[in-house]
Chains A and B, each alone.
Chain A
Amino acid sequence: MTMSPSLARRWPDLAVVALLAAFPWFGGKFEVDLATTIMILAVFALSLELLVGATGLVSFGHAAFFGVAAYATALLAPKAAAPALLVLLPAAMAAAAAFAAFVGALSLRTRGIYFIMVTLAFAQMAYYVFHDTKLGGGSDGIYLNVKPVLAVGGAVVLDLDRSLAFYYFALAALVATFAFLAVLLRSRFGRALAGIKANEQRMRAAGFSTYPYKLAAFVVAGALAGLAGFLYAVKDGFVNPEILAWHQSGAVLLMIILGGIGRLRGAVLGAFAFVLLKEFFQSEAIFGAFARHWQLLLGLAIIACVALMPDGLIGLAAQLRRTRAVAPRAS
């Protein structure tokens, strides 16, 4: 096992991490805040990539796990004292994983388009539970008053209330998620998921009981979405039912497709592209009063992106090479 070739393949990832780590030095307050949001959404997109890209399970209800963890964060935190990071984060992820185990156990009985719709149905259920009951403050939402801290022996080592500390915490979460999934997908478990995506019948014929594998992937994806939901709740200090709405599930699907399905890098790239595209169309400096109608341009951009880049941004280079090879020579 030599280290250098795998390291050589990893240089784009390492470069991006270095760039993100250095970003607070040259980015303004607004840019750093935006980068934090993007990193949180990148974790969210990575979690869905495990299902859609790696296992071939298209979930249209992934926002539910993000939202359940965000609500768990806000509800479990003490009202006046600073919650302990090492308690609150695992608790939030466990809540998301538990809900994912419940949803996955039932919805994995269906396939294809029915699976898409059942996951949507469960997410809508979660949405209405938080929207219609007093549990999380109804449609008004709920506040997280004091941000979590990491304290060792009474001394606060990490206070997520400080935006720079939170930025690096989000970056660490993104790197950890990416590395974890990269290792997971190379493991025997990851290979089994790839086999299920390619041909589930054959995997079963080869002696794999595919259901536990799919369920495990669903729960892990739910827990990672929970990590993103925790970060989201801590960042804004506020959670409302809209984060569980089907638009959010659609948006995160969009991110991984925009970036390119089947590649972890694609999910991260997609999160960046989606948020920046949205910011671009919302910019009044560029579009003036028309920026109010940013969704029109975003919608057209989505259609154009999917139509012109079926393999996503990550596959763009390969796609262009192919087109050039096929296209008749102009002379």
Chain B
Amino acid sequence: MDLATFLVQCLNALQYGLLLFLVASGLTLIFGIMGVINLAHGSFYMIGAYLAYALAPWVALHLGGGFFTALLLGMMLAVAFGYALEWGFVSYLYEREHLQQVLMTYGLILVFEELRSLFAGDDVHGVKPPDWLTGSVPLGDLMTYPVYRLFMSGVCIAVALGLYVVIARTRIGMAIRAGASNREMVQSLGVNIRFLYRVVFAAGVALAVLAGMIAAPVSSVYPGMGNQVLIISFVVVVIGGIGSIRGAFLASLLVGVVDTFGKVLFPQAAGVLVYVLMAAILLWRPEGLFRQG
């Protein structure tokens, strides 16, 4: 592997890891703060990708906007959807056992998958990136790297930084951190925990939808795309330690590197490697890298 190839793979690993972080961060927050195992989280990613596919022509026709207008509209829909879903469904899961949560959200996956099939069909669709992001940058003498992938990584880094600032520096972030370690205490101190949960859930949905929307031009849009991301995101959450954003960030990058380089170096064993990594880490630290509370 020469230097340029190595560099390209590094960028790929970074981009994949960062994208995973968008999905996994919402999952770990919902998991750590509300104690809900949400198997349907991968469906939000899938919904995001289909939104990117469906919104682009609609936005161009009716609003005259482009990629970013569609992205913004998609995020607004996602927040509204997440808020409504928490109010109408997820809030009933808090009192349930983990096993029942697993099953009810598993049922939700089936529902979302079939609704997708009803409204968008079962075909694979491509999504075009915006024109000004279609080029490539030269890398070394022979290799080039697509600008759009760099753009994806940039968006993810911006979101990660934003998330860090919100959680570490703002009042609501403080409430979120406190809620993760002691729910009752936060409630008795006068924080409206129901509202907090609703906000966290809506934010988690929006992050997953954003991931799906920006991934759509690269991965294309296809049935069952949420499930693959879901399982890998769970791996990330567990490696990082449930409820830890920092752990999820580190674990995402780790999984990105192992998966990307695994596919290049050991194509036969690529699928297995991520799970070997997870098993090894859990045997070394049974509660993940950064266990909170």
Contacts and interface: CB of A to CB of B under 8 A. Distances in A.
Interface of A: 52, 58, 60, 106-107, 109-114, 116-118, 120-122, 124-125, 127-129, 131-133, 246, 250, 253-254, 257, 261, 293, 295-296, 298-303, 306-307, 310
A122 B279 contact: yes
Given A118-B279, A120-B234, A257 B118 contact: no
A307 B104 contact: yes
B206 to A, nearest CB: 23
Contacts of B279: 106-107, 118, 121-122, 125
Contacts of A295: 110-111, 113-114
Interface in B100-148: 100, 102-104, 106-111, 113-115, 117-118
Contacts of A121: 235, 275, 278-279, 282
The B interface is mostly helix, strand or loop, or mixed, namely helix
Given A58-B98, A293-B114, A296-B118, A129 B103 contact: no
Contact of A299 (B98, B111, B242, B288): B111
Nearest to B97: A310
A95 to B, nearest CB: 18
Interface residues of B, number: 39
A106 B287 contact: no
Interface of B: 37, 92, 96, 98-100, 102-104, 106-111, 113-115, 117-118, 231, 234-235, 238, 242, 268-272, 275-276, 278-279, 282-283, 286-288
A315 B147 CA distance: 58
A271 B279 CA distance: 31
Given A295-B114, A299-B109, A125 B103 contact: no
A125 B106 contact: no
Nearest to A127: B271
Given A110-B282, A114-B238, A306-B107, A120 B231 contact: yes
14 contacts: A60-B102, A113-B37, A114-B287, A121-B275, A125-B275, A129-B272, A132-B272, A250-B102, A261-B99, A293-B114, A293-B118, A299-B110, A306-B107, A307-B92
B199 to A, nearest CB: 23
